Structure 1
Amino acid sequence: MKIKNMKNRKKTTRKADPGNLLSLVCGAIDQLIESAQAFNGLLFPSVLEIKSGKVPKDLPPAIPGQRDCDRAFPCGSNLTHDHSVLRLMYDLAGSTGETCYRDAADGYLRHWSLHCTTTPTGLFPWGEHAFWNLEEDRPGSSYALARVYTMPTHDHLIQAPAWLWEKLWEFNYREVERFCLALENHFLDVENPLQYNRHANLLRRHPMRKRHEGHCDFPRHSGFHIYDWSFAYAKTGSPTYRRLLVRSLDYWWERKYECGLLATDTATISRRLAAPCQTLSLCATLYEAAALIAPKDPDLAKVVTSRAATYCKGLTDLLDNSPKGELPHQINVDTKVATLGTPVWEGAYGLRDVAGEALLSLCIHRINKDPRLLEFAKDVARLYAKTAFPTDKNIPIVVCGCLLLLLTDLFSLTGDEEWLDMAEAQAGKLAPLYMNDGLPRGATGIEIYESQLLPGYFLRGLARIAFLRKGRDIGADYTRR
């Protein structure tokens, strides 16, 4: 199915004018929609050449900190990478009257929900290691790129937000329910104690799996699953979803350190190492899950909120005793010594930038009004203002996107022009580096668009600046967590 509005619409001739941020954003999205015409006319290819706008024959080398086993190629499309762009398209349609963006986003999601979700397990071909192969019209596995010959794997990667679940439910609620039930496949067939893995076989369920140390039961993935089950529980009232979300809710609650922080996984608990960023992710997700649950089950929502508050206190106590603008990536809970810091401009697999963590802190602040989270975000914003952008390294576009969203969110929350001025100044420097040829580069120094580097946050940051200057706000996107 082609999008009629786009087919009949005049082809845009927007120039990459850094002085017109909204024009830059719309021009990039127009090219993404155009790129889909080479395949089914609906889903966006994950990797595109900047100059030609076409899928390259060969995949360019990964940038430092990027893994080939996370990339959607050849001819891949990944909804997890794309939903930040799709949400922006809906917002643009509502704010500019360009209904073609809404139609294109609906076309993408309708086709994806009806055509790409019927896997043998019920798990979706999206996330960290799986995608939809546009050329072969079937699920694809990123492991082949890294010559890792193992099962096609489901991993959530980032949060699937409520608006996305609402859309998928509208188009194909049966497969949404099937997916939520299939999430139980992430639990190993072991008991006493219970154990899960953030990875699960996409195409078939193993009847038995052995317990092992490196099982990657990350707290943030527990949150992703809880949120999905909370949505399904709110929609259906099924006790099955309640049981599943409570089981995952208890999983890390019973394993938390006395300070309220969580380990990266259960394998590191004995080493007394806490992962504040993992704790932050689960904390934010629990607060949001409670809002979904509350109308259906207010008592359970209170429990979820109370546990989120405990995790939040562990984080704010840590921030009170850390240098301004710093959130340790890993810390010894006994000595209080940070064993790994959080980078400013440079992000890498497993080590996200502090702008993203500050943005997520504002997500929590909007819910619980804790002033320490707001002050932390302000300190991080000032840290970026005085830290030079590295021109000799490949800086992923998502880092800059989170920075722009952080600055615009600070303005939205405080009304202080300082933050919007700072956002506009950063955009003036960054937009020419990433967007001088229409499609945004996945990172500085490369000549490809790549959805795995999450350019949607950067596009949203630019658009939000433009709308805020006009007295309107399209809001943030807190899904990278």
Structure 2
Amino acid sequence: MSMTSDILARVEAAAEALVGLGTEYGGLFPSMVDLDGVAMLERAPDPIEGQRSGDRSYRGCNLIHDEATLLTLHGLAKGRSRPDFAAAADRYVRRYATHCTETPTGLFPWGEHAFWDLDTDAIGDSHRQRDPTREAGAIHDHLRAAPFWLWEKILQCNPACVQSFADGLHYHWTDGEPREYIRHATIEQRRAHPRSARSCDFPRHGGFFICDWAFAYRAEPRRRTLDEIESMLDYWWPKRDDRGLLQIESRTPEENDRFHDVNAPSQTLSLAISLLEASQADLVQRMRTRANAYVDAFFAAPHDLEEGVYVILSRRSTNELFQAMPVWGSVYGVWPASYVALTALLGFRHTQDTRLLEWAQSVGERYASEPLPSSVNVPAMDAGLGLGLLADLYELTSEPRWLDAALQLSARLLDVYFQRVLPAGASGIDWYESQMGPGFLLHGLARTALLSEYGTPCSLDGDYTAR
């Protein structure tokens, strides 16, 4: 069997297992599953290093976690003549959109701290599972961007929930002056989230909200939605420093060394790319002008491509490196370099700014050359995004070296993550867990094999939700 045939056989077998499990839950995929793909785990294993208990979807389903898997099903359906995969992906979204989205605020139970509980058939609260005494209720946090293709599918199933969600995002604005938002919002209580010592208004989340509102506005042009877009568009613009960079959050006590005086170049880029994605006819010039300024700011950070230093955080006062991104072994709050490199490639697709391509190519060279470490549990997300980066570089440049590197990496990843039917959530563990990003691994493997077997254009689009 050829390498590409082996990859596709493994990915399709994993997809079939997830689809089969989904039949027990109206089409939804459970988050934690044994590697044979037989059943949802009865108990959650201990978290791996860098994974927080309050971020996991215990005996539940999480659409944001599964987005890349659903995209992969559609790509395989088109490229491999598997209409059953497309039907399964549509069945999942239909069940979610019509059964799981009617909440008091309109916000969906998905993302970082909320999910759909498959045992109780109700909103799941990750924090409550970690601490049963907690009474605050489920929290909405986007975790990653919701892509427009997914919103289109949701719209087809339940147009009303798209507008309800857009309205519900207003609960991310907090009480008090000056105006401020927070990345968290209550799902089951119609109230503004209380302010704390820190604002927690990460720039990338503002970009996610703008994309959500932009899609809702295209579906139903309401003045209220446009006002929300404009408010968020203007929120960060005056908060830039002299280099144009944005802080990781706009308000932090001075004694907090982790967040005070800290810029987030990667989140500045994330916001830029979301503005390019969401550009509205009513605001297109302002959105694109500001996006380009944020892109310029990203390159003002102290990256060192020759030394492989990719900056996720820098000191605002001095522009010195505060934290770099690893190639392998991400933990909460520290993304793998591929995360931002794929964001850069999406930016390149929008702007043809060669600086973005060159930055991503530098990261790609690291994934082509640096071995997967055996000393840490590397989340499947790192592996999948690294592979997705190499595949995307090949599609954009047509340079064979990127496809060769992707195939070589695929062979290593199959050995590490595919001990049985489903991919392990991280290297060195014996269970599948959607929160660790195995959907990105399935996507990266499938995209690599489809490009190798059938060439360009690929039937499976790139995934740029991790930004």
TM-score range normalised by the length of the shorter chain: over 0.9
**Cα deviation digits, residues 134-164 of structure 1 (max 9, x gap):** 1211111001232171321111110000011
Range 356-365 or range 139-148, more displaced: 139-148
**Cα deviation digits, residues 182-224 of structure 1 (max 9, x gap):** 1000101223x10111111110122x65433223110011011
Where do 1:315-330 residues align within 5 Å? Answer: 315-318=298-301, 323-330=306-313
Where do 1:105-120 residues align within 5 Å? Answer: 105-120=89-104
- Which one of 429, 439, 448 corresponds to residue 456 of structure 1? 439
- Which one of 415, 422, 431 corresponds to residue 439 of structure 1? 422
Asked if 1:49 corresponds to 2:22, the answer is no
| Aligned residue in 2 for 1:303 | 286
Contact 2:303 2:309 in 1 (8 A): no
Question: What is the Cα deviation at residue 358 of structure 1?
Answer: 1.0
Q: Residue 263 of structure 1: SS of its match in structure 2?
A: coil
- Which one of 361, 366, 369 corresponds to residue 383 of structure 1? 366
TM-score (norm 1): 0.91
- Which one of 71, 76, 86 corresponds to residue 102 of structure 1? 86
Give the counterpart letter for 2:187 in structure 1.
L
Contact 1:397 1:441 in 2 (8 A): yes
Question: What is the Cα deviation at residue 347 of structure 1?
Answer: 0.4
Q: Residue 132 of structure 1: SS of its match in structure 2?
A: strand
Aligned-residue identity in percent: 38
Contact 2:311 2:324 in 1 (8 A): yes
Give the counterpart letter for 1:133 in structure 2.
D
Where do 1:242-281 residues align within 5 Å? Answer: 242-268=226-252, 271-281=260-270
Question: What is the Cα deviation at residue 348 of structure 1?
Answer: 0.6
Question: What is the Cα deviation at residue 451 of structure 1?
Answer: 0.7
Gaps of 5+ in 2: 255-259
**Cα deviation digits, residues 70-125 of structure 1 (max 9, x gap):** 0000x200111111111111111111111111111111111111111111111111
Root mean square deviation of aligned Cα: 1.9
Give the counterpart letter for 1:280 in structure 2.
L
Where do 1:150-189 residues align within 5 Å? Answer: 150-189=136-175
- Which one of 199, 210, 231 corresponds to residue 215 of structure 2? 231
**d(CA) in 1 for partners of 2:380 and 2:286?**
37
**d(CA) in 1 for partners of 2:442 and 2:41?**
23
Where do 1:120-131 residues align within 5 Å? Answer: 120-131=104-115
Question: What is the Cα deviation at residue 323 of structure 1?
Answer: 4.6
Q: Residue 213 of structure 1: SS of its match in structure 2?
A: coil
| Aligned residue in 2 for 1:9 | none
**d(CA) in 2 for partners of 1:114 and 1:456?**
23
**d(CA) in 1 for partners of 2:421 and 2:358?**
36
Contact 2:183 2:200 in 1 (8 A): yes
Asked if 1:353 corresponds to 2:336, the answer is yes
Contact 1:263 1:269 in 2 (8 A): no
| Aligned residue in 2 for 1:146 | 130
**d(CA) in 2 for partners of 1:266 and 1:95?**
45
Contact 1:81 1:127 in 2 (8 A): yes
Range 23-32 or range 271-280, more displaced: 271-280
| Aligned residue in 1 for 2:199 | 215
Q: Residue 311 of structure 2: SS of its match in structure 1?
A: coil
Range 266-275 or range 112-121, more displaced: 266-275
**Cα deviation digits, residues 233-262 of structure 1 (max 9, x gap):** 122221111100110111111211121111
Kindly tell me: are residues 54 and 368 of structure 1, through their superposed partners in 2, closer, same or farther at Cα, counting changes over 3 Å?
same
- Which one of 327, 341, 345 corresponds to residue 324 of structure 2? 341
**d(CA) in 2 for partners of 1:63 and 1:159?**
24
Contact 1:180 1:232 in 2 (8 A): yes
| Aligned residue in 2 for 1:10 | none
Give the counterpart letter for 2:19 in structure 1.
I
Kindly tell me: are residues 164 and 210 of structure 1, through their superposed partners in 2, closer, same or farther at Cα, counting changes over 3 Å?
closer
**Cα deviation digits, residues 423-471 of structure 1 (max 9, x gap):** 0001111112111311011001111111111211111111111111121
Contact 1:16 1:24 in 2 (8 A): no
| Aligned residue in 2 for 1:414 | 397
Q: Residue 301 of structure 2: SS of its match in structure 1?
A: helix
**d(CA) in 1 for partners of 2:307 and 2:355?**
11
Contact 1:274 1:332 in 2 (8 A): yes
**d(CA) in 1 for partners of 2:108 and 2:345?**
30
Kindly tell me: are residues 209 and 69 of structure 1, through their superposed partners in 2, closer, same or farther at Cα, counting changes over 3 Å?
closer
Contact 2:4 2:449 in 1 (8 A): no
- Which one of 18, 25, 45 corresponds to residue 39 of structure 1? 25
**d(CA) in 1 for partners of 2:200 and 2:41?**
33
Q: Residue 48 of structure 1: SS of its match in structure 2?
A: strand
Asked if 1:62 corresponds to 2:51, the answer is no
**d(CA) in 2 for partners of 1:318 and 1:327?**
9
Kindly tell me: are residues 262 and 251 of structure 1, through their superposed partners in 2, closer, same or farther at Cα, counting changes over 3 Å?
same
**d(CA) in 2 for partners of 1:158 and 1:241?**
21
**d(CA) in 1 for partners of 2:4 and 2:221?**
49
Give the counterpart letter for 1:108 in structure 2.
Y
Contact 1:80 1:160 in 2 (8 A): yes
**d(CA) in 1 for partners of 2:158 and 2:357?**
39
**d(CA) in 1 for partners of 2:375 and 2:253?**
38
Contact 1:18 1:432 in 2 (8 A): no
Gaps of 5+ in 1: 1-14
**d(CA) in 1 for partners of 2:423 and 2:122?**
27
TM-score (norm 2): 0.94
Kindly tell me: are residues 236 and 37 of structure 1, through their superposed partners in 2, closer, same or farther at Cα, counting changes over 3 Å?
closer
Q: How many residues align?
A: 457
**Cα deviation digits, residues 312-371 of structure 1 (max 9, x gap):** 001123367665543212112332210111111010111101111111111101111111
| Aligned residue in 2 for 1:22 | 8
| Aligned residue in 1 for 2:257 | none
- Which one of 54, 79, 84 corresponds to residue 68 of structure 2? 84
Q: Residue 239 of structure 2: SS of its match in structure 1?
A: coil
Give the counterpart letter for 2:116 in structure 1.
W
Kindly tell me: are residues 461 and 222 of structure 1, through their superposed partners in 2, closer, same or farther at Cα, counting changes over 3 Å?
same
Q: Residue 166 of structure 1: SS of its match in structure 2?
A: helix
Give the counterpart letter for 1:243 in structure 2.
D
